[in-house]
Amino acid sequence: MPKFFVKNNQIEKDLIKIEGQDVKHIKNVLRQKVGEEIIICNSSEQKNYLCEIEEINKEYIKCKIKKELEEFKSNVKVTIMQGLPKADKMELIIQKSVELRSI
């Protein structure tokens, strides 16, 4: 099931408004229709919601929260192997590696 990320300002009570590039992806690539379900993650509070699409518009998609999902932790372990980068790319590699660990 597709999962999309939103911020606190996109959530109002039991409605979530998806904006930006995700709208095109949901409409054109996934071809989701009104009534279908998607998972939406509030990246600010790290909560997942099972939502039903209520309205598909050119600029936004409005979804109704059906229920809050339990936190899901993956037991997948990832090993990162890195060659010798050019210039100052090592700092970026370390930053992104730390971000992956915190997910």
> 29-51 burial, b if ≥16 CB within 10 A, otherwise e?
eeebeeebebebbbeeeeebbeb
7: domain CATH number is: 2.40.240.20
More confident site: 35 or 45: 35
pLDDT grade, residue 54 (50/70/90)? very high
- pLDDT tens across 4-25, in order? 999 999 999 999 999 999 999 9
> Which residue matches tokens 């911020």?
7
H/E run at residue 94: helix 89-102
Cβ–Cβ under 8 Å, residues 3 and 40: yes
Cβ–Cβ under 8 Å, residues 38 and 53: yes
- Could you tell me if residue 87 is inside a domain? no
pLDDT at 43: 81
- Domain count across the chain: 1
- Could you tell me if residue 29 is inside a domain? yes
Cα 96–chain centre separation:
17
- Could you tell me if residue 46 is inside a domain? yes
Enter the pTM of the model.
Answer: 0.67
- Could you tell me if residue 80 is inside a domain? no
Q: What is the mean pLDDT of the chain?
A: 88
Please give the residue range of the domain that contains residue 53. Answer: 3-69
- Could you tell me if residue 31 is inside a domain? yes
- Could you tell me if residue 13 is inside a domain? yes
- Could you tell me if residue 100 is inside a domain? no
- Could you tell me if residue 84 is inside a domain? no
> Which residue matches tokens 């998609």?
61
pLDDT at 92: 86
